[in-house]
Structure 1
């Protein structure tokens, strides 16, 4: 995580209700850019090549373009190419050597444990992957729930961060008032979008 201490984070949180910390997963709770993100990107690109019959340059263009436009490559592939979402998520987020790929700051569990209030993981990644990473980090017990991309569907339509309607529904299901939520995230665009909804934010 960043150099911010629990004490400095606490000072930024005004007294409202009990805080509910919404932690992004990748590049927030662990250093996904070290090995995991490159592996996921390779997997997504290969999936697009295999399923759509395009070359590597076009596959990379679609992968990055859909992420920028929709918040997740998956959403663009569903909307424009009707791919099997479950198959895609499984193929690109399954690693036989996950334990050797995970990197995180020392003292992460202690830092999280010192933060007051409820803690929830909010990730555009799939549920099985998120739970596996949390287990490798040894912090799964500190979170009351994981809200993964499978949980972000609205009226049968797939959604992802930074979709506003999705977050409102997810917070309602988790019994979280937006005014009590604090989003800890590495993606500035997500933070800016959700700050306008009254959620407090911490940039990692």
Structure 2
């Protein structure tokens, strides 16, 4: 078995962001859009969601159509004085990652400061050798967050590994589909959401595992048991 590089998403993969954090982020994003664009909260929420669905990230739409400062936007929507009280996670998460053979990385569309604080709270900062946040996802001066295939190729090139030795662990099916198209192995983490329920992207979870997902797990703690199914030839 070749050693894998495990690329972990953050929100709703390593912790359950949908319980308390996502509602707070959505509220702060909407307030920011309303203030910057002089909109009421209902109109701001509608525009924010439209940009999210069109571009994969609200920030990209705001940059393209309104020339907002991305650093200001990320700070305004991801600063939590009480972050530790909002995080919901499984016990034994650190041991679960330790049991996996190979190298671990974080690959998230969240901003670096927020991601670092969450990882430190979860006690995973020693397990994850490198952190890729949205600030690191720029190609030729433009942000290219997941599910950008060009960005995924660039990260694989930086790590100097072929796609077949990399595994992406995610809750987002769109991101997993992009990774699988490049030849990466894929793990779909369903977490608190079961088939037929509505995910963070507003779409209904499929009742069957899509063909571009090699493995489906409900919990990160199941990864060690299924890792052999992700083995690639030497």
Same fold by TM-score greater than 0.5: yes
Query: What is the rounded CA distance, in whole Å, between the counterparts of 1:176 and 1:128 in structure 2?
Result: 27
Q: Report the alpha carbon displacement of residue 175 of structure 1 after superposing the two structures with TM.
A: 2.2
Give 1:124-143 correspondences, 5 Å limit: 124-143=109-128
Aligned to 2:44: 59
Considering Cα pairs closer than 8 Å and 6+ residues apart, tell me whether 1 or 2 has the greater RCO: 1
Task: Give the aligned partner of residue 79 of structure 1.
Answer: 64
Q: What is the alpha-carbon distance in structure 2 between the residues aligned to residue 84 and residue 171 of structure 1?
A: 28
Deviation at 1:193, TM superposition (A): 2.0
| SS of aligned partner of 1:94 | coil
- 1:32, 1:102 within 8 Å by CA — same for their partners in 2? yes
Q: Give the secondary-structure state (helix, strand or coil) at the position aligned to 1:95.
A: coil
Question: 2:186 maps to what in 1?
Answer: 201
- The CA deviation at 1:176 is 2.8
Partner secondary structure for residue 140 of structure 1: coil
Structure 2, unpaired ranges of 5+:
190-234
Corresponding residue to 1:50 among 35, 58, 83: 35
SS at match of 1:63: helix
What is the Cα deviation at residue 64 of structure 1?
1.4
Pairing 1:169–2:154 present? yes
How high is the TM-score relative to the length of structure 1?
A: 0.90
- Root-mean-square deviation over aligned CA pairs: 0.9
Equivalent residues, number: 189
**What whole-Å deviation, never above 9, does each CA across 1:99-140 have from its counterpart, x for those lacking one?**
101110111111011011000000000001100000011111
- The gaps in structure 1 that reach 5 residues or longer are 1-14
**Does the 8 Å CA contact 1:70/1:160 hold for their aligned counterparts?**
no
Counterpart CA distance in 2 for 1:76 and 1:154 is 17
